A and B are shown apart, each in its own frame.
Chain A
Amino acid sequence: MKKPELLVTPGSVTEIQKQIVAGADAFLIGEQRYGLRLAGEFSREQIKEAVRLAHEHGKKVYVAVNAIFHNNIANELDDYIAFVKEANADAIVFGDPAVIMAVREAAPGFPLHWNPETTATNYYTANYWGKRGAVRAILARELSMDAVIETKENANVQIEVQVHGMTCMFQSKRPLLGHYFEYMGQNMEVEKRQGAKNMLLHDEERGNKYPIYEDANGTHIMSPNDMCIIDELQDLIDARIDSFKIDGVLQTEEYRLEATKLYRKAIDLCVDDPSRYDEEKDSLFEAAESLQQDHRPLDSGFFFKETVY
């Protein structure tokens, strides 16, 4: 059986080298001007280097161009996309249809991965973007296991799901941390904390702590737990999901590398020796748990949780 791709989010070119050793198959990289919530900033030079390095080892590189664009950057997209093509990356990840328009101009036929995050919620719409150039859909993290599998069964495009890490719950264009400090009369803090990634919103009622940070795309609020389904991969592999993503945003390089090693082992076992995977999956989960900081418990995201409306 074909193994699903193990896709990770490196913070630097040197990390890519280590991630290859750790067992990653593909890399999502980019810069915040065009991409959302990335683990690292990659300049054009670094993207070229990353592609060269990855391709030497038979690995893939996808470039994030998935921000919500306003006119100023929409006008620059042709140039950036032409660069991505020239750098020989393997695909562009997008959410905004402006990217489709720019690809038609600057790199016709270049492979696209559709990732609007919260709004990729059914197979019909995945196939709709497939007809417009997407070869892959990255599903919303708010879907159940059954919905993910049903989507795969009905999809004409590859399906990618996140299996580990934090997820974004909220994106605002407004600088909400800066505004709070400004309201508090702490204008010094606005400057000092620009780009700070160590802030949490404490929701006392639920006992949750949500990471919150600002960047060029606005303010991002992240899930209080890290999802981890290292012990629940069998059904996804049986359904032939094409790519498993570990999102390593706001994590250390060390954490990301350890997570990659664990999932490498889990995927290999699950495909090559399912009965041993069954025996070892609990200890794999425990190993993942030992990587966690105290304030970030693991959970299974929305895979087994009911949502109403």
Chain B
Amino acid sequence: MHQVRGVIAIVLSVACVWATTVDAAELAAPDLAIEQAIDQYIQARLTERQVQPAPIADDCTLVRRTTLDLQGRIPTIAEAQTYVQSNEPDKRLKLVERLLASADFAYQFRNQLDTLLMGGQKGNHNEFREYLLKSVRQNRHWDQMFRDMLIGNEDDPEVKAATTFVRVRARELDELTNETSTVFFGVNVSCAKCHDHPLVDDWKQDHYFGLASFFQRTYVTKKNNLAEKFSGEVKFKTTKGVDKVAKMMFLTGTTVDEPVVEVSADERKKQDEDVKKQMQDDKAGPAPKPPFSPREKLVEVALQPGNDQFFARAIVNRVWAMYLGRGLVHPLDQMHSGNPASHPELLDWLSRDLIQHQFDLQRLVRGIVLSQAYARTSEWSESTEPPAPDLFAVALVRPLSPRQYSMSLRLASSNPEAYKPEVGGEEWQKRRDELERNSEGFANQFELPGENFQVGVDEALLFSNNAQFVDDYARDSQDRLVGAIKQQTDRTTQITTAYWAALTRAPSTDEIAACNQYLEKRTEPVAGLRQMVWALLTSPELRFNH
């Protein structure tokens, strides 16, 4: 009873989101560059709140941050120094364009989408990851990917892989409904248990079960193909205890009517038997395709002009959060009137822009990382308290994903000569693929960072005492950083190289002194270098994107 009531409360607020969208005529001009629109809206609120934002980060920080975000790894020394030493006025623009065009971007953006779509799922789903990688490489637009993932095509192996999203959730109607809604529409329909609004109208219950109705007929065949039944409805009890059959209904209230087709009892029986056979027999032929597909209808309705606000706003908010550390609406799955956006007009502007550009996510990414809001330093040097995070006045520090961390540790601990001169070209794609695969094992030891991420003591113990880690990353063989710097004769050079490799910057005088002092005391010089490198590899400065 309680649960049902909760579900309805959220639908109530969902309905309100619609009403709070800003009138298009009041928005800034549509032909503004994305980064300009962002900075205009962010600045407007800072001015209103009388907050002076933190300055733009230095070159070292920016090249590291942007490379981590767009390539999923720290830059090599060569890449970083090229950027830092460049005097070109538009070097940041060029950096972003280079990174977006690189082989690495496809891997990184794929990994981000994979986390978004399959983050909570166990087991491997390599075909799905391959589908995502190809899609990013082709810049397949988000609405098209949505179609692929929700409708798919079981006869086309590439698109079949896309439906993994539905297939792994198909056995749990609630999970499939909730997670589709959460990921694609930014609305978590199961979350309202704590909203204490007992005011319930029956039609709102219709909303929740209406969304579930689009998935009710979905099933997985014995051969692990996705299919839909010919018939089937969601039945539920209203809060007043009345039994009802749900109507297929999108979050905005748009309903879908199934065309009435006369089916004889015999035909119906045969259809049911066919479906039963599909579910039980791994030798059954291709699953019969009913003339009416509710999942197809959901995609159609969700992408209808007007209705597509949910779809657009949800992904804009998620992409924003990938690069800025929190959503314009936060938490990301709570897009309802009780939880308004920090910058409602900006969210609307970006959503409109995304729709107008056919859901081209890479265009959105480019605009976000070119904004000033993205480029601020994460240090707060004022004596006042740091501004609220939803002002985006100072960059938010973000934990690296397990893959980013694993790959960055590999790069940082490698002999810098191995990644010189600049990486790139065809050869690099192979190496990058290798790096991606080799990092997997280590990455699997870490949990995906969620909200309020914390480093646990287990991680610190692993890095401190696991012989495998210490012996591998801080090895003094030729292919490793320690192996490289032990050949260098001057201690300051050794320290400087280690800093550039691990932290993408030169050490300060104090840091050189501290490392020097440490190395001075060691009776075994190479052991000393290994320990110094360990101290840099385990630094929070490497652990986070800052």
Do A and B pair up? The answer is no
